[in-house]
């Protein structure tokens, strides 16, 4: 049980377990920012999604580097460019999913955001595992 929490690991299962919690805390940061911007400031969901996603991304990357993955083999600026590219992909998925769920299906904005977060989690983990922390 200790290996799930402590020490570096190359096990994809342990990494996914840890990333699930990192992603969960990042999702909270993202969702709180998004919800405040959409409900309290009546900001369009696409702009609120961008702000929330970027705040969650910074939180996620810091914890991923410190706890989930073994150090990247890339030079730091190259790593950040790859992470940025993955983030852009995740944001595009988020916007597409929100558009479908809110504008086409009529789903509530906050519920749609929560659903999109679950789906984009899989994208973010897979891309980071393959391209950043392989």
Question: Each residue's pLDDT tens digit in the chain (134 positions)?
Answer: 666 666 666 777 777 788 788 888 998 999 999 999 999 999 999 999 999 999 998 898 888 878 777 665 667 788 788 888 999 999 999 999 999 999 999 999 999 999 999 899 888 888 988 887 77
Structural domain that includes position 103? 11-132
Residue 55 maps to a domain: yes
Residue 42 maps to a domain: yes
Residue 116 maps to a domain: yes
Domain count, the chain: 1
Cα 116 to Cα 66, 99, 119: the distances in Å are 26, 10, 5
pTM equals 0.79
How confident is the model at residue 56, as a pLDDT? Answer: 93
Alpha carbons within 13 A on the beta-carbon side of 43: 17
Residue 3 maps to a domain: no
Residue 69 maps to a domain: yes
């Amino acid at each position: 049980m200790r290996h799930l929490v402590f020490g570096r690991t190359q096990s994809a299962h342990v990494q996914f377990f840890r990333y699930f919690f990192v992603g969960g805390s990042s999702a909270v940061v993202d969702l709180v920012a998004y919800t405040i911007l959409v409900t309290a400031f009546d900001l369009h969901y696409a702009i609120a999604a961008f702000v929330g996603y970027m705040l969650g991304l910074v939180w996620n990357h810091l914890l991923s580097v410190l706890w989930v993955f073994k150090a990247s083999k890339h030079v730091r600026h190259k790593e950040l460019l790859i992470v940025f590219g993955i983030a852009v992909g995740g944001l595009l998925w988020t916007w597409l999913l929100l558009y479908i769920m809110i504008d086409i299906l009529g789903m509530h904005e906050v519920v749609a955001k929560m659903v999109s977060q679950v789906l984009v989690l899989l994208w973010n983990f897979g891309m980071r595992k393959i391209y950043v922390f392989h």
